[in-house]
Amino acid sequence: MMLDICFGSAIIEIWVTENGKTTKAVFTGDIGNNDLPLLDSPTMISNADYVVMESTYGNRLHIRNDNKAEVFLDIVSETLDKGGTVVIPSFAVGRTQEILYEIDKLKDEKGSKDKEFYRKYRTLMQSPVYVDSPLAISATEIFKKNTELFEEKIQEKIEAGDNPLEFPGLNFTVTAEESRELNSREEPCIILSASGMCDVGRIKHHLKHNLWKKSSTILFVGYQSVRYFRKKYC
């Protein structure tokens, strides 16, 4: 048996020999993508007799969006300008860390040459960002301790003192009391909370306090069952 592991997923290969015949079975969760700098690329499996896998995107391909960082910044800055709260139902392992990286990466792509971009970026950087999920907080700490698995250019940034998972205004709310206090704050902010599917956890608390506010935005950054969400919250 062979076990290939990266952050957030694992692939198990099992060979069984019976009556002189060897059969290979592969068990895997989310296969993952190749273009995420904070995650190791998934191990490629060349062959198998049987495959058991997670299949959220089993019948279609991911659509690449090379402008996702700018789209994210536009939505977030518009909400913050209105004095609202950006609530992001974020998957604890992988997606939360990717969002934190994308936020940090924005400043290096355009710098201060584009005045409007820089204004939006300053708005973002001057607003507090709360990671409100015990699991996401623990996962982020694991990412920090295993930076040797990041892409080489990311490792170079970290060695130069620019850690993409650390920036001014980033806060981690550990206790349930700290989580509840977020909804009594009047300052514009960003809240990343789990679960990403909005069915359990602290995100339900934040949706209750922000879905009805015209100034706030619920920003989905991962797969969401539209039918399930409408049935539960609409």
Query: pLDDT tens digit string along 14-32?
Result: 999 999 999 999 988 766 6
Cα 50 to chain centroid, rounded? 31
Look at residue 3 and tell me whether its pLDDT is greater than 50: no
Q: What is the rounded end-to-end Cα distance, in angstroms, of the chain?
A: 47
As a whole number of angstroms, the distance between CA 104 and CA 234 comes to 33
**Selection from 167, 209, 169, 203 nearest residue 185 by Cα:** 209
pLDDT score at 147: 82
CATH of domain 68-233: 3.40.50.10890
Going by their DSSP bridges, the two strands 9-18 and 2-6 should be labelled as antiparallel
| pLDDT single digits (tens) 100-140 | 777 777 666 655 567 888 888 888 888 999 999 888 888 88
List the one residue out of 167, 196, 173 whose CA is nearest residue 95. 196
Q: What is the reported pTM?
A: 0.76
What would the pLDDT profile of 145-176 be if each residue is shown by its tens digit? Answer: 888 877 787 888 888 887 877 777 889 999 99
Domain ranges of the chain: 2-53, 68-233
pLDDT in the model for residue 5: 47
Asked if omega into 41 is within 30° of 0 (cis), the reply is no
What would the two tokens of residue 157 be? Answer: 């940034």
Query: Which pair of structure tokens corresponds to residue 5?
Result: 């592991």
Residues 6+ apart with CB under 8 A from 46: none
